[in-house]
Every structure is written in C-alpha cells, then in structure tokens.
A and B are shown apart, each in its own frame.
Chain A
Amino acid sequence: MKKSGAQIIIEQLCAHGVTTVFGYPGSAVLPLYDALYQNAHRISHVITAHEQGAAHAADGYARASGKIGVVITTSGPGATNIVTGIANAYLDSIPLVAITGNVDVPLLGKDSFQEVDIVGITQPVVKHNFVVRDIRELEFTLHEAFRIAGSGRKGPVLVDIPRNIQTEICDYQGLTPADAEVPVVQISKDIEKAAEAIARSERPYIYAGGGVVASGAETELLKLSRRICAPVGLSMMGITALPADDPLNLGMCGMHGTYAAAMTEAKSDLIIALGVRFSERATGDPEAYTKNRTILHIDIDLSEIDKNISANIGICGDIKAVLQKLLEILPQRENAAWLQYVDQLKKQQTVQAPDGFTPKNIIETVSRFCSDDTLIATDVGQHQMWTMQYYPFTRPRTQLTSGGLGTMGYGLGAAIGGCIAAGGRKTVLFTSDGSFGMNLIELATAVTQQLPITIIVLQNGTLGMVRQWQTMFYGGRYSQTTLDRKTDFAALASAFGGVGCYATNIQELESALQNTLDNGPTVIVCPIDIDEKVLPMIPPGGSARDIITS
C-alpha cells in the first residue's frame, strides 16, 4: 500500500503501541502535524510550552508506564531544545524515540533556515540516531528506532526526517514489533561462580539500581535478599526497587545515602551489584569501596562490567533472568548475627528530627496525603535528596527523577508526562525555587491538560545544594547562589490558571494539601531555612569513615 512519509510515521507509531506523543509543531514537521491532525483519534498529541518540557514529559511518560516515550519537534531550535531531555534519558537508560523534522534533503548542509545537524549534535547522548534521506528507508528506520530504544539497555534514539521525505510517497509494508530481530542477551556462564561467592560470604550486601526497575526484577530482588539474608542499599535510580518499609531495605546509598547503608557497605565482604554503573556519587573512593571484599556485578550492558569498578565476578544479562537462574540454585541461608548488626545500624540512624517546618517534616506530611501509587517527581538539588531520604517509596515506577544528568528543570515536564501515562493519577512534584524557576512555564501545559499535580516548592531563596558545598568546601563564599528574587510562586500559579498558596507550618501545609485541585496544578510554597543541609554526606571521593552526620 502506498503512503506518504507522514502517514508512514503515524502507522509506525501506532504499530508500536504509541497512543500519546509530546511535542511542538514547526515548519519542518508541518506534513507530520497535518497527519497527526487527521489521526487525532489514534494518537493524542500533547503540546508543551517549550520543547524541553516535551522531552522531559516523554521521559516521565516512559518512566511511569515502562513504555517508550515519544517526542516530536521541528528542525533547528526545536531540535536543539530537546538535547538536554535526550541526554537526561540517555544517562538514566530511559527508552525514548525523538522525531525531529529537518529542511528538505536538497537544502541539507547549506546552512538553510532552521537547519542544524541534530544527528551530529546528539551523537554522544543517544543509543543511535538516523537521518532519513530516502523515503524508502523511512519505515524500516522508525521500526529500528523503536527496537533499539526498547531493547537491551534501554535509551533514546533520534530520527531526523527532512520535510520533503514526509510528503513523498512510498510503499508501506506494515512492519510490527514482532518483525524486529531483538538479540537475546546471553547470560554468561558465571552463575555458579556467583552462587559460590554468595555461599562463602558471611556479610553479603546488595546494591540495587535502575537496572532492577528497567528489568521489572523487584520480586526477584526481594526473594534474593530474603534467601541469602542480605540487606539492600539502593542507588537513586533504584529507590523503588524495594518497598521503603522492608526490613532489609537500608534506603539510598552513596554520597547522601543513609548511615546504615554506608556502614553496612563498609562492613560487607561481598557486594552484589544489580543493574548499576558504580557512579562515583554512589561509590566514593573506589579503592576503599573494593578493599577486602568481593564484587559481584550483574548488568545487561557488558561495557559496564569492569568500567568504573573492576568486578571479581561479572555477569552480563537481564537482571530478572539472571536472578531467576541464581534463585534456582541458591539455598536458604540463616545469618542472625549479620541481620542483627544491620538492624542495630538502622535503629541508630533514626535520629529524631527537630519539630518545625523542616524538609523532613514537610515531605513526611505530604506522604501522609499520598497513596502507594502516587507518582512522585522531583527536580534536582537538596529537595531531591531529601525526597529520596524521607519519602516512603513503595511501588516501582512511582519515582520520576533525573539521576545521571542531574537536570534542574526536569521535574514539571516529567510530572506532566508521568501523570498522563498514569491516566491522570495524583502526582506530586517536589521542587525548589532554583529548579522550579527554570521550566515553570510548563504550568501552562498542566493547566490545559487539567492534570492533578501538586507542586511543593521548598523555597529557601538559594541554590541550596551549591550553597551547601560552598559552606562546607568553599569557606562560606556564596558566589551567585543567593537568589534574592521577589517571585511570588503562588500568585504565578493563579496567573497560569492553577491555584497557589503559601504554607509556613505543618498545619497550614495539611490544610493546603486537603484543598488541592483534581483538575489542575496546585502550587504550595513552603519557605524553609536557607541553611538546611542534606545529611548525612560522604564528601566527594570519600568513604564511609568520612561520613558527616551533623
């Protein structure tokens, strides 16, 4: 059957189960937007206020649903505006297909109006990208884009489609996901070696990350920790891999992880690392990290094994499949001494926070108004760390946060995408005056889409995390971090068509939380002290013995 390029794009999106896309029109995607108009009953298109917001929304959509997020923009600035969003998805292994228009093929390479080499620009931050210069390649290219984004270690793929390709006519075959040749990730033969190391270990510790969530291996993780009596420290990307109230869950590990996670890790004789890349924010000093212990690393990406930390045993494979194989051969262990040691550490860290309007009390109050399936988005900085420390995440795919890239301004777009993916389920965004200031224009999108997003702005008048480092490591010289702005975020929320208010104590916060909109965004501004710090903290390059707790 003959179809235009634009129609082929629509058919391929539908063939891959895409029902929602995020984007922003422009001259180089006019034929595609015309096809979207005619296919509005098949694909819902959400226009954001800025292309960056669309990219973050597609990312949030993917995180919340487990499906592949799709973002569409025009050429030139439309394309460059999503680069941060693509890099964000790349660093967190989030499956995304980005479709950009470009100038007509004969105009490529001539510095035409709104022409950029987006394939060149995004090359280091995509799994792969394509420019389609021949209509006959369009269908297969899009089909490949979805296969690449969603298989193996997931990630973003960009397809650049010149405008004239969208209008040309070509035979359409009707490729579906079933036609894709997805290479099966072979599990290496070291399963038995891994089982032996686990059997030998007296103090096993599991370090679980985003790979567990990407693989859907939460049940296997829980079984493994129970089976071998191993406490679990979570990377930020893995924070939903185990319910917060699980007795073996130590919470987040690494620079701003819990005291119990740091001490357990330091005491362990075996680290079982699942779906992690040993980011320096998670390990600190690599020598101290590996000294006197065995490292068993399991990851779907072979290039991660021995990259940052060299592993005694490395197994490449899908986490769920590898853990299932391991569980087949691992016997039930008893290890009362180790569990008791860990339990005592967990008790030690429950330091009573002071009463008052502190980040901990604010986040815990908000959590009382949430259910297990409430989506929690964050921006980046102190409030993000506090959310990871104090919010009791229970279910997988309820956390939307920028882990690897640390993108301030990520949160609102992600909350919008996540909320839409979850069918308009209640969503909370924890942010701060610095991060929120970057992309708050997306309040417009949340109003138009009538999304029940509650936005908690922890307003401390500073770029808090940078200020904390300036306090601790730069002699209190607050270079460019004190904002001294007069922005009234509550009034701004009303200006956008949502509602906003201030809460200066827990009672006011509770009453504000009782009155949030269920068909639009609610901004609750919570002023907090400028010198609130994220603790504990292991200084960069340090280890558990350097932990700062007060």
Chain B
Amino acid sequence: MEKFTIELIVANRYGVLNRITGLYARRGYNIDSLNVNETSDPKFSRMLIVSRGDAAIQTQMVRQLSKLYDVKEVTLMSTVNFAK
C-alpha cells in the first residue's frame, strides 16, 4: 500500500480535528502520522496527515475532505511506495 500525505488548511476552531479524524475512521483508513499547527493567520490551521491507500482511496479522501465545511484547502502532497 502506498503512503500518501494530505495537506489541509482548516478553520482553527474546537471540534475540527474531530471532524477530520472522524472521516478517516468512518472510511476505515488508519492515520500513520498527524501534524497540526496554527498558520500565520490564527483563524486557520495547517494539518499534515499521512495515511495509506491506493490511487482510488487517495482521490476519495481528497473529495470527501473537500466537502467538510471547516476545510478550506486540500492538497494531495507526496506519495511514497511503502515496501511491505
């Protein structure tokens, strides 16, 4: 399975992290690593989420995340082949 990183710009509010991780959990995708920081504009946070899945899963996650109200930007960053 391929590792992939999604970068999100989200509203910097209580409960937002829960909405993002809840989406991963509902679809059954494990999060390998998660990093959240406030951006230079304190209204927003930047999240970096590393997860695993094929191209179809990656596209699906980007599209599902884009639908969330608190998500302002979604970028599929890098994909790294993960040797089993």
Contacts and interface: CB of A to CB of B under 8 A. Distances in A.
A123 B17 CA distance: 12
A120 B26 CA distance: 14
A540 interface: no
Interface residues of B, number: 14
B7 to A, nearest CB: 18
Contacts of A301: 67
Contact of B26 (A124, A148, A306): A124
Contact of A123 (B18, B60, B64, B67): B18
A186 B44 CA distance: 26
Contacts of A344: none
Given A124-B22, A128-B69, A148-B69, A306 B15 contact: no
A548 to B, nearest CB: 32
Contacts of B56: 306, 310
B18 A307 contact: no
B59 A306 contact: yes
Nearest to A152: B67
Contacts of B15: 119-120, 131
A302 B67 CA distance: 9
Contacts of B64: 303
Contacts of B26: 124
Contacts of A120: 15, 18
A123 B22 contact: yes
Nearest to B62: A303
A128 B16 CA distance: 11
A307 B60 CA distance: 7
A329 B63 CA distance: 29
B46 interface: no
Interface residues of A, number: 14
Interface string A481-522: 000000000000000000000000000000000000000000
Given A119-B15, A124-B22, A302 B69 contact: no
B22 to A, nearest CB: 6
A123 B69 CA distance: 12
Contacts of A303: 60, 63-64, 66-67
B16 to A, nearest CB: 11
A153 to B, nearest CB: 8
Nearest to B19: A123
Interface in A72-117: none
A310 B59 CA distance: 12
Contacts of A128: 68-69
Contacts of A123: 18-19, 22
Interface string A299-324: 00111001100100000000000000
A119 B26 CA distance: 16
A90 to B, nearest CB: 12
Contacts of B60: 303, 306-307
Interface string B18-58: 11001000100000000000000000000000000000100
A119 B19 CA distance: 10
B66 A302 contact: yes
Nearest to A131: B15
A67 B3 CA distance: 44
Given A119-B15, A128-B69, A310-B56, A302 B63 contact: yes
A538 to B, nearest CB: 26
Nearest to B63: A303
Contacts of A306: 56, 59-60
A127 B26 CA distance: 15
A433 to B, nearest CB: 34
A148 B66 CA distance: 14
Nearest to B68: A128
A437 to B, nearest CB: 31
Contacts of A310: 56
B63 to A, nearest CB: 4
B70 to A, nearest CB: 8
A148 B59 CA distance: 23
Nearest to A128: B69
A120 B21 CA distance: 13
Interface in A137-168: 148
27 contacts: A119-B15, A120-B15, A120-B18, A123-B18, A123-B19, A123-B22, A124-B22, A124-B26, A127-B67, A127-B69, A128-B68, A128-B69, A131-B15, A148-B69, A301-B67, A302-B63, A302-B66, A303-B60, A303-B63, A303-B64, A303-B66, A303-B67, A306-B56, A306-B59, A306-B60, A307-B60, A310-B56
Given A127-B67, A128-B68, A307-B60, 11 more contacts: A119-B15, A120-B18, A123-B22, A301-B67, A302-B66, A303-B60, A303-B64, A303-B66, A306-B56, A306-B59, A306-B60
Closest A-B pairs by Cβ, 8 of them: A303-B63, A128-B69, A303-B64, A302-B63, A124-B26, A123-B22, A303-B67, A307-B60
